[in-house]
């Protein structure tokens, strides 16, 4: 495995793969910062008429999303175990922990899909028809909500596919102790996705 990454394997003592991932994550964080800044600007503008979270999602909806957040955080913990077991050479355990991580991501996407369906079909049906919007509807809230959660959901979907590739690498013996950094790089992305969601959940559902 080492022979495959001899050329330019490190730069300043850090693997180029890690530098590449950190660079991507910094740029991606700026994109999310722009989304959140736009959300804050629209929400706290005078006369914005912004709905309170419980008015749109309801208490049960917020609790469901809170549980979904908990599942995503747990998947981040399981990702830590994937790396730890890979570094120890316990590849079967690493596979099982990766399956748990993938399941957490799929569960999160399933709940988010259910939430979108409920909001669009029940709360905002005029978005799919020519009907007039209800008085309580706030177009700025709906657009920023769908953009923020949709953009993050796309990141989760990419992360799940990334983790599936890592799982197949573990299962086929292409990832082991010698190149466990591949798991570490995938973990950096997954932890970033989890951290961003905590910010989105706080801004959109709690404040």
Give the per-residue pLDDT at 90.
Answer: 94
d(CA 120, CA 128): 8
Indicate the pLDDT class of residue 131, thresholds 50, 70 and 90. low
Indicate the pLDDT class of residue 115, thresholds 50, 70 and 90. very high
CB atoms within 10 A of CB 160: 21
**pTM value surpassing 0.75:** yes
Give the per-residue pLDDT at 9.
Answer: 56
Contact 43, 52 (CB under 8 A): no
pLDDT in tens, 45-76: 888 888 888 888 888 889 999 999 999 999 99
Give the per-residue pLDDT at 207.
Answer: 85
- Where do we find the tokens 């590739």? 165
The percentage of residues in the chain with a pLDDT greater than 90, rounded to a whole number, is 65
CB atoms within 10 A of CB 142: 18
Give the per-residue pLDDT at 197.
Answer: 97
> For 172-190, b where at least 16 C-beta lie within 10 A, e where not — what string?
eeebbeebbbbbbbbbbbb
pLDDT in tens, 14-56: 678 899 999 999 999 999 999 999 999 998 988 888 888 888 8
Q: Which domains, ranges and CATH numbers included, belong to the chain?
A: 13-128+136-206 (1.20.120.80)
pLDDT in tens, 132-161: 555 556 788 888 999 999 999 999 999 999
Q: What is the CA radius of gyration of the chain?
A: 20
Give the per-residue pLDDT at 7.
Answer: 35
pLDDT in tens, 164-177: 999 999 999 999 99
């Amino acid at each position: 495995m080492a022979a495959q990454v001899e050329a330019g394997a490190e730069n300043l003592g850090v693997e180029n793969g890690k530098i590449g991932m950190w660079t991507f994550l910094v740029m991606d964080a700026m994109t999310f910062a722009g989304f959140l800044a736009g959300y804050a600007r629209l929400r706290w503008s005078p006369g914005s008429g912004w709905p309170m979270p419980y008015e749109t999602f309801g208490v049960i909806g917020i609790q469901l999303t809170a549980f979904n957040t908990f599942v995503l955080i747990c998947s981040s913990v399981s990702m830590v175990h994937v790396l730890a077991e890979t570094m120890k050479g316990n590849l079967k355990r690493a596979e099982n922990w990766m399956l748990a991580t993938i399941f957490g991501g799929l569960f999160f996407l399933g709940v988010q899909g259910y939430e979108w369906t409920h909001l669009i079909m029940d709360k905002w049906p005029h978005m799919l028809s020519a009907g007039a919007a209800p008085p309580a509807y706030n177009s700025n809230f709906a657009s920023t909500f769908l953009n923020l959660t949709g953009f993050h959901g796309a990141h989760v979907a990419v992360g799940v596919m990334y983790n599936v590739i890592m799982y197949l690498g573990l299962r086929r013996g292409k990832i082991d102790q010698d190149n466990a950094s591949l798991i570490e790089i995938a973990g950096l992305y997954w932890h970033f996705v989890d951290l961003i969601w905590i910010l989105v959940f706080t801004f959109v559902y709690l404040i």
